[in-house]
Amino acid sequence: MRSYELMTIHRPELSEDEIRALLSGMETFLGEQGATVKTTDLWGKRRFSYEINHMNEGYYSVIAFDGDPKLIDEIDRVLSIADEVIRHKVVRPGG
């Protein structure tokens, strides 16, 4: 298992409760795939440095987890088709 951080930017029209529910669903998804969630951090609504899809702000969040490298492709697939997610990125901390 390797350590990863998943950063997501959610649509600005969602409420914080909806964002927390989406993050909880992602934690559940990761757990079902055999990953271990270490921390979940909601940064709140932030302004973008440039416009993305005609939006100027969004909710940022970071989920730190340990998981199999094969899981990353599935995360990319799921988040790419999620309407609530503007952007996402999975990184290996310190790597």
pLDDT digits (tens, 9 = 90+) for 37-63: 999 999 999 999 999 889 999 999 999
Q: What is the pTM of this model?
A: 0.90
pLDDT digits (tens, 9 = 90+) for 13-28: 999 999 999 999 999 9
Environment class of 78 (CB within 10 Å of its CB; exposed 0-12, middle 13-18, buried 19+):
middle
Residue 68 has pLDDT above 70, yes or no: yes
Q: Are 40 and 61 in contact (CB under 8 A)?
A: yes
Angle between helices 16-32 and 71-80 (to 10 degrees): 150
How does the average pLDDT of the chain come out, rounded? Answer: 93
Instruction: Take residue 20 and report the two structure tokens written for it.
Output: 């927390």
Tell me what pLDDT residue 1 has. Answer: 86
